Chains A and B, each alone.
Chain A
Amino acid sequence: MAIRVPADVIPYARFIGVRIEEDEHGTRCVLPFREEIIGNVRLPAIHGGVVGAFIEMTALLTLINDHQSEGDRIPRPIGFTFDYLRSAGPKDAYGRAEIVKHGRRIANVRVVVWQDDPDKPVAAGIGNFLL
């Protein structure tokens, strides 16, 4: 699908530097590594909260770029569950969302975040949005 809505329409996406792009598998989001998103200086590692926020942002941006989402209001999150699988190191992270169900009122979205290897995810999340 073509990107209709860029990430930078959302102030918080600019704040943490998230962008949305296309690759051979479809749409994905990128969280560029920078010092401001570090949560553990010793490892170092990206803050778990930022990883969670990136999961939510990937879900939201994928949803509002989906051709079924024609509404002009931004979907509102109802609930989200995050699983932290590995520590996210000091490098760019990538996120891809799958819209599990796009209902009339509710959308269910699953997200995986990885760094070097998509088969070794650093985090995963699933959540529901009110459309």
Chain B
Amino acid sequence: MSEEKKYAIEPLFGEPPSMELAGHIPHCNYLGLELLAAGPDTATALVPYRDEIVGDPARGVVFGGVITTLIDQTCGLATLCSLSEIATIATIDLRIDYLRAAEPGLDLLCRADCYKLTSHVAFLRAVAWDREIDEPFAHAVGTFMVGSRPSSDHPLKSLTEEILRGAGDPAPQEEPGD
């Protein structure tokens, strides 16, 4: 890397990353969402397959809205992973293409990347898949507002500060390959 960019939540990065990244969100816990990876400008998450999230009982196919939630959450995390200072973020818009039905019985995975960050807006793209990332069942693009509200009490702020002070137990660090 030619330029050194500082990432506010770098102490929480890893594979898997600190579970605190989503552990404070009730709906993520309700869905059983798991974080698989977080790194510079990117995040990967999983929602386990279960009968309760089916949208087409005749086929056992998961409801599209569950994929929406997984993609929205993973994009939000990738946005957080792109910031040099922790800020509150909010989805502005999200567009999802459902390329095929997710296969019944398989967990849903999503990787989101923040490919552009401006002072107020983050631009994201994401894919969701069940077997191979190269054969996604959904593709999405979205934009997120950055810093729309004061973030002095952001739950991740105190956590990262705690870890930086050495009081916490940071997730194992993955060095970027390039």
Interface residues of A (CB under 8 A from B): 9-15, 35-42, 47-50, 52-57, 60, 73-74, 76-84, 87
Q: Report whether B93 and A49 are in contact in the complex, using a CB–CB cutoff of 8 Å.
A: no
Chain B residue contacts of A60, Cβ below 8 A: 55
Pick from B26, B57, B63: contact of A53, CB under 8 Å: B63
Residues on the A chain within 8 Å of B93, using CB: 81-84
| A-B complex: 8 closest residue pairs judged by Cβ atoms | A53-B65, A49-B69, A12-B63, A52-B68, A49-B72, A47-B27, A36-B30, A38-B26
| Contact A53–B66 (Cβ < 8 Å) | yes
| CB pair B73 A11 closer than 8 Å | no
Interface CB pairs A-B, < 8 A, 26: A10-B55, A11-B52, A12-B65, A13-B63, A35-B26, A36-B26, A36-B27, A42-B155, A49-B65, A49-B69, A53-B64, A53-B65, A53-B66, A56-B63, A73-B58, A74-B55, A74-B56, A76-B101, A79-B95, A79-B98, A81-B93, A82-B68, A82-B94, A82-B95, A84-B90, A84-B94
A80 contacts which chain B residues (CB < 8 A)?
A: 64, 68, 95-96, 98
**A82–B75 Cα gap in the complex (Å)?**
14
Report how many A-B pairs have Cβ atoms within 8 Å.
127
CA distance in complex: A41, B24 (Å): 8
Question: With a CB–CB cut-off of 8 A, which chain B residues contact A14?
Answer: 52
Q: Is residue B167 contacting chain A, with contact meaning CB distance below 8 A?
A: no
Q: Roughly how many angstroms separate A36 CA and B28 CA in the complex, as a whole number? A: 9
Asked whether B90 lies within 8 Å of A87 as measured between CB atoms, the reply is: yes
A12 touches B66 (CB 8 A): yes
Q: Are B90 and A50 in contact (CB under 8 A)?
A: no
Residues of B within 8 A of A55 (CB): 65
Could you say which residues of chain A place their CB within 8 Å of the CB of B91?
48, 82, 84
Given contacts A11-B52, A12-B66, contact A77 B25 (CB under 8 A): no
